[in-house]
Structure 1
Amino acid sequence: MILEHADIRIDPSKASAFEEAILRGASTVISTAKGFQGFKVNRSIESPGRYLLMIYWDTLEDHTVGFRGSPAFAEWRAIVGPFFAQPPVVEHLELVGKS
């Protein structure tokens, strides 16, 4: 399993609308993609306007090729993109261990 980690910055005054949009977009658009396993969205306490979106994928390619190369990606960006104060920083991680 691969974890996509997106560090997103928005205007804090738009937090309520953004939270509705990101949850709706993840639930209705991303969740239909091949290899999607689940997601979490966390809001920073210390940095207003900072969010971490974590999406679990079966493979890296399910995200980078399948989802990002599909029309669903444009639909997703149309929902959340207008809120971005800057482009999100996205990384992919592999689990090394857990307890």
Structure 2
Amino acid sequence: MILEIAVLEVKQGLEERFEVDFKIASRYISSIEGYLKHSLQKCVEQKNKYVLLVEWQTLENHTIDFRESREYLEWKKLLHHYYDPFPVVEHFEKVYENKS
């Protein structure tokens, strides 16, 4: 499993509209092969900052299957104009997990 993490800074004043469009855009990402789940977390201290967490089966499910798809074009059209600056996206593999 690969965890994609992106810190999203939304232009101030557009947070509510972004959240509505994000829910619409969610159908595009969730339709991709290898997609497992995603969530959007809002920062308590900085109201225009979010963290996007997406779980993929493989790195290629994100970098190829999603990023080279028609669905990504729709995702991009709905969401990319909200960001300033444009987010850095990174991928992580689990090393340790405590389930106690």
TM-score (normalizing by structure 2): 0.93
Deviations 1:6-59 (A, max 9, x none): 111112311111011112211x10000000000010011112211100110000
Match of 2:20 in 1: 20
Measure the CA separation in 2 of the matches of 1:39 and 1:66.
16
Matched, 1:91 2:90: yes
**Residue equivalent to 1:43:** 42
CA drift of 1:85 comes to 1.5
Gaps in structure 1 of 5+ consecutive residues: none
- CA-to-aligned-CA distance 1:50-81 (integer Å, 9 cap, x gap): 11001100000000011101111111000111
Q: Distance in 1 between matches of 2:37 and 2:94?
A: 15
Identity, % of aligned pairs? Answer: 32
- Count of residue pairs the alignment pairs up: 98
More helix by share: 1
TM-score, scaled relative to structure 1: 0.93
